[in-house]
Amino acid sequence: MQKKILVVDDTQLFLKLMERILLKQGHKVVTAADGFEALQVLSSFVPDVMFVDLVMPKISGDRLCQLVRKMPHLRHCRIVIVSAAVSELDYDYRKIGADLCISKVTQEGFAESVTAAVGDQQSDPPLSRPNPSTAQRRERTIHEITHALVTESAHQETILETIPEGVMELTSGIVTYANSQAVSLFERPLGGVLGSSFPSLFPETDRQRVQMLTDAAEKTPKDGTEEALVLGGREVMVHVAAVPGESDTHLAILQDVTEQQEVKRALRQAMEHTESIITSMAESLLVVTADSKVNFANPAACEMLGYTEHELFNYPMDSILAGDDTFQDAVYRPLQQSGVLRKPSLQYRTRSGERVPVSFLATLIHDECTEAEHRCSVLCIAHDMREIDRLQSQVSQAEKMATAGLLSAGVAHEIKNPLAIILQGLDALGTSLQRAPNREVLLDMIRRIRNAAERADFIVRGLLDFARQSPSHFSRLSPEALLDEAVALVEHQFRIQGVRVERTYSRERTLVRADKNQLLQVVINLLVNAIEAISENGIITVGTRLEVDDRLGKYVQISVSDNGKGIPPEELDRIFEPFFTTKTDALNTGLGLSVSNGIIDKHGGSIEVRSEVGSGTDVIVFLPCE
């Protein structure tokens, strides 16, 4: 029965031999010089039997077998491996999809072996044993070379199956080899990969790029995709390299970079996130090195200071701090002890020389290399207080006017008393002049009248001074002197209410840095509250006390205490809330304590209220000392 037979071998002589044997038996024979040629033949010729040499250029025999086995139309084709060394190698030809294996080491019995292989028998034909006596030397050499090549091929195969990258061999753009890693990336069986054109394995949109890679591989051997391609949900970098010496063969390396890309993306996202926070935050952010140089500035810092980021780089921090203190003295050294430094009223100097009040917070930036040298950088966060200051001063002023209104009733009374003296005095003066003027008596009258007039003036001036809106001005002042001044301003109120004032001042005197007008406002506010809390025969105690705290340093407690009705706990919780008030008169804004709290906060201090219903209230203002 005539069969269609394909013989693939790179030895012209061997092809001739096979052709002769098979033609003699009446079969139809086609030959191919290598695996690639064989593949081309197979596209139009469907053989019943294929004889395949193992060691061939371009596409080796085993690979060709694997390819053929994946082609449905060659399902019934019998594949016979013809090799010089297989018999000794325990070569498992079945693994590559071949049906038989015969040796070509010896010519004796070879024709029979071929004939048997073509036959329909399912059993293996007897392998021709190598005959050592015939043409021994030549055959030994061939035998050894083939042995070496097959061994090396198996070796390479193992390597290719173990590496994480997908490796593919392309011949004229057709996939002729793919390791399992490469195959798994394409989500189709090996058969769907082998024999296909390389670009066609990729999604439509990427094919042109892949084709270009292959085309460009000749010129730039190590070029790859710059961006990853998407293959079945995985991200893959594709590199195509020409194989030197084999003009039409390329190697394609496929790197699954999905995890890498995900990590990269997550990292980039985290960095972008952090960066967008830093960029969009309203606070000015400066990173300052241990030697007082600006190392980083965010946009808010650049805008506030009027410099570009570039100009701020390496800019001396001492030139940004508006005070006399250096960065080392004011920030760096204190930070070494505390780790965090808060300065609620610091000033930055802008490019134009303007001083910007900022609420300042500094922390050490700990990183391994700088920490080892004790030269940590400092993160300086500054909040521009100009707008807040403006609003706060408006509210504060409104509240002050309300207090002034409250005080003015008392003031009116206090003025009417000297006026009464003046009127009576002038009448007395008039009468005296009409009758018998006595110089001494007249001078005494004038003195008393002048005293009364001056007293009226003093009272009015005190009120007007208090009510006047004055720009923020910090100076060193004595807390006791300030308390005395505040008490003097509300003294008439005390007299109206019959309140007694007691003073318990600290023996040790100190100075605080404060805005006098603002601090006066706080104390008067506390005094007015105390007056309102107490009934007749109340006692208001104003006092100062010096304390030293490990954390806060030296500070002074300014207290205003009363023995009035006290504040119930549920009201005590809300006492600093703006507009919270239990009073109903029109002059009460409910802003007093909230404004006071704001002012004291700006001074770097705090207010504490302790109260018990029925026994009185203590308000304590804590202020840091100079």
| Subset of 547-586 contacting another protein (CB under 8 A) | none
| Spatial distance between the Cα atoms of 112 and 118, rounded to a whole number of angstroms | 10
Interface with another protein, residue 416, by CB under 8 A: yes
In this chain, which stretch among 338-346, 425-433, 554-562, 607-615 interacts with another protein, using CB under 8 A?
425-433
Interface with another protein, residue 433, by CB under 8 A: no
In this chain, which stretch among 32-40, 429-437, 519-527, 592-600 interacts with another protein, using CB under 8 A?
429-437
Residue 304, both tokens: 């506030």
Compare residues 4 and 455 and give the one whose CB is closer to another protein.
455
Distances (CA, A) of 572 to 169, 298, 328, 543, 597: 83, 42, 42, 22, 14
Interface with another protein, residue 435, by CB under 8 A: yes
| Subset of 296-315 contacting another protein (CB under 8 A) | none
Compare residues 342 and 583 and give the one whose CB is closer to another protein.
583
Helices assigned H by DSSP within 435-478: 439-467
Q: Which positions ≥6 away from 381 have C-beta within 8 Å?
A: 283, 284, 285, 360, 361, 362
The residue from 115, 424, 506, 557 that contacts another protein (CB under 8 A) is 424
Block residue for tokens 């709290």:
597
| Contact characters 85-124, another protein, x per CB under 8 A | ----------------------------------------
Q: What is the pairing mode between strands 78-83 and 49-53?
A: parallel
Amino acid identity of residue 425, one-letter, is: G
- Please state the closest distance from residue 537 (CB atom) to another protein, in A: 9
| Spatial distance between the Cα atoms of 329 and 339, rounded to a whole number of angstroms | 15
- Please state the closest distance from residue 585 (CB atom) to another protein, in A: 12
Interface with another protein, residue 437, by CB under 8 A: no
Going by C-alpha positions, the residue among 152, 266, 170, 591 that lies closest to residue 401 is: 591
| Spatial distance between the Cα atoms of 173 and 454, rounded to a whole number of angstroms | 110
Interface with another protein, residue 184, by CB under 8 A: no
In this chain, which stretch among 229-237, 272-280, 323-331, 426-434 interacts with another protein, using CB under 8 A?
426-434
Compare residues 158 and 431 and give the one whose CB is closer to another protein.
431
Compare residues 432 and 581 and give the one whose CB is closer to another protein.
432
- Please state the closest distance from residue 495 (CB atom) to another protein, in A: 6
Going by C-alpha positions, the residue among 620, 607, 601, 621 that lies closest to residue 389 is: 601
Helix (H) or strand (E) holding 241: strand 234-242
Interface with another protein, residue 443, by CB under 8 A: no
* 362 neighbors 331 (Cβ within 8 angstroms): yes
Interface with another protein, residue 406, by CB under 8 A: no
Q: Which positions ≥6 away from 167 have C-beta within 8 Å?
A: 160, 177, 178, 179, 181, 182, 251, 252, 253, 254
Compare residues 463 and 595 and give the one whose CB is closer to another protein.
463
Going by C-alpha positions, the residue among 193, 370, 409, 406 that lies closest to residue 290 is: 370
3-state class of 159 per DSSP? Answer: helix
- Please state the closest distance from residue 401 (CB atom) to another protein, in A: 21
Interface with another protein, residue 422, by CB under 8 A: yes
Q: What is the pairing mode between strands 166-171 and 249-256?
A: antiparallel
| Spatial distance between the Cα atoms of 416 and 281, rounded to a whole number of angstroms | 57
In this chain, which stretch among 89-97, 372-380, 411-419, 519-527 interacts with another protein, using CB under 8 A?
411-419
3-state class of 540 per DSSP? Answer: strand
Distances (CA, A) of 329 to 260, 325, 326, 567: 47, 6, 5, 44
Interface with another protein, residue 409, by CB under 8 A: yes
Compare residues 55 and 463 and give the one whose CB is closer to another protein.
463
Interface with another protein, residue 420, by CB under 8 A: yes
How many residues are given for the chain? 626
- Please state the closest distance from residue 564 (CB atom) to another protein, in A: 18
Compare residues 197 and 451 and give the one whose CB is closer to another protein.
451
β partners of residue 364: 378
| Contact characters 11-50, another protein, x per CB under 8 A | ----------------------------------------
* 8 neighbors 53 (Cβ within 8 angstroms): yes
The residue from 131, 196, 451, 606 that contacts another protein (CB under 8 A) is 451
Compare residues 428 and 609 and give the one whose CB is closer to another protein.
428
| Subset of 479-508 contacting another protein (CB under 8 A) | 495-496, 498
Q: For the stretch 289-299, what's the b/e string if a residue is b when 16 or more beta carbons lie within 10 angstroms of its beta carbon?
A: bbebbbbbbbe
Interface with another protein, residue 428, by CB under 8 A: yes
In this chain, which stretch among 98-106, 247-255, 416-424, 586-594 interacts with another protein, using CB under 8 A?
416-424
The residue from 417, 472, 510, 606 that contacts another protein (CB under 8 A) is 417
3-state class of 460 per DSSP? Answer: helix
- Please state the closest distance from residue 450 (CB atom) to another protein, in A: 11
| Contact characters 363-402, another protein, x per CB under 8 A | ----------------------------------------
* 359 neighbors 344 (Cβ within 8 angstroms): yes
Going by C-alpha positions, the residue among 517, 500, 526 that lies closest to residue 593 is: 526
- Please state the closest distance from residue 423 (CB atom) to another protein, in A: 4
Interface with another protein, residue 439, by CB under 8 A: no
State the first-to-last Cα distance of the chain, in angstroms, to the nearest integer: 117
Interface with another protein, residue 218, by CB under 8 A: no
Interface with another protein, residue 419, by CB under 8 A: yes
Binding site for another protein (CB under 8 A): 409, 412-414, 416-417, 419-425, 427-428, 431-432, 435, 445, 448, 451-452, 495-496, 498
